[in-house]
Amino acid sequence: MAETTNKSIYQELKQRVVNGKYNIKMRLPTEESLIDEFHVSRYAIRKAIKQLSDEGLVYSVKGKGVVVLEQTPQTQEINLSLKEINSLQTLNDAEDISRTTIIADFQQVIVDEDLSHKTSFAIGIPLYAIKRVRRINNKNAVLDINYFNAQLVPDINPEIAKDSIYTYIKKNLDMKIAVVKRQLRIEHADQIDYEHLNLGINNCVGNMISFAFNDDGKQFEYTESHFIPDNFIFNQIIKF
């Protein structure tokens, strides 16, 4: 119930900002006013405001309150954050989006020379090799090609992979995710992309490549996320 309440507050405030309700004063109402209006805790209000801030809609200024930024054009594409570790996982919380995961392949492999060159894992390490199709609004929009170090992230199964491997890592394994390095490319679509994605007239895919490390400096993941290029916008908000 709390999550639904937080989501509804965020959505209501976002609509007000986008529609210009706060445009004249260029401020959000005070936390106290919003608490009284929505009949929720200060935490719920601050969480909603943080979501607006993360999207670049507002900015908190000490002594001035929450300033509403002048609005840039809204787009029809799905907005994903480059800052979030797994922004696809949080889509349902922020936007009215239907998202399901399909396990296309799940197996264990041993790193050979070619795979080592591709993923940076040492030869001989056992990996979970997983292909997951992210179906968004009834379209196969993203293909995740995952490799997880089975020694550092043991006992993954298809059920965990269909839900959230990162949640499993943090909650069940109690492992600290320290650093994720990312590279964003546009590449020619391969046969695997045509097989799993609804590319339509597109002959290329976006490819978000991720290398993830724990707090011991050990790499535990290599992932390629292939996505339909005209369906997504990746955002990064830089604050000073």
pLDDT tens sequence across 186-209: 999 999 999 999 999 999 999 999
So what's the pLDDT on residue 212? 96
What lies within 8 Å, CB to CB, of 117 at 6+ separation is none
Span 52-61, mean pLDDT?
86
Instruction: Report the alpha-carbon distance of residue 221 to residue 16 in Å, rounded.
Output: 40
Q: Which helix (H) or strand (E) holds 134?
A: strand 126-136
pTM, entire model: 0.73
How does residue 124 score in pLDDT terms, banded at 50, 70 and 90?
Answer: very high
Neighbours of 93 (CB within 10 A): 12
Task: Specify the range with the lowest mean pLDDT, choosing from 79-88, 150-159, 178-187, 223-232.
Answer: 79-88
Task: Specify the range with the lowest mean pLDDT, choosing from 73-77, 111-115, 194-198.
Answer: 73-77
Decide if pLDDT at 103 tops 60: yes
Instruction: Report the alpha-carbon distance of residue 123 to residue 121 in Å, rounded.
Output: 7
So what's the pLDDT on residue 1? 40
Span 134-139, mean pLDDT?
92
What lies within 8 Å, CB to CB, of 157 at 6+ separation is 106
Decide if pLDDT at 91 tops 90: no
Query: Is 189 in contact with 215 (CB distance < 8 Å)?
Result: no
Domains of the chain by start residue, with CATH: 2-68 (1.10.10.10), 79-235 (3.40.1410.10)
So what's the pLDDT on residue 70? 80
Higher pLDDT, 79 or 214: 214
Span 77-105, mean pLDDT?
68
So what's the pLDDT on residue 57? 87
**Tokens read off for 125:** 């390490």
Decide if pLDDT at 74 tops 90: no
Percent of the chain scoring above 70 in pLDDT: 86
Span 9-34, mean pLDDT?
86
Decide if pLDDT at 56 tops 60: yes
**Three-state SS at 180:** strand
Residue 240 carries which DSSP code?
A: -
Instruction: Report the alpha-carbon distance of residue 90 to residue 84 in Å, rounded.
Output: 9
Task: Specify the range with the lowest mean pLDDT, choosing from 3-12, 43-52, 149-158, 179-188.
Answer: 3-12
pLDDT averaged over the chain? 87
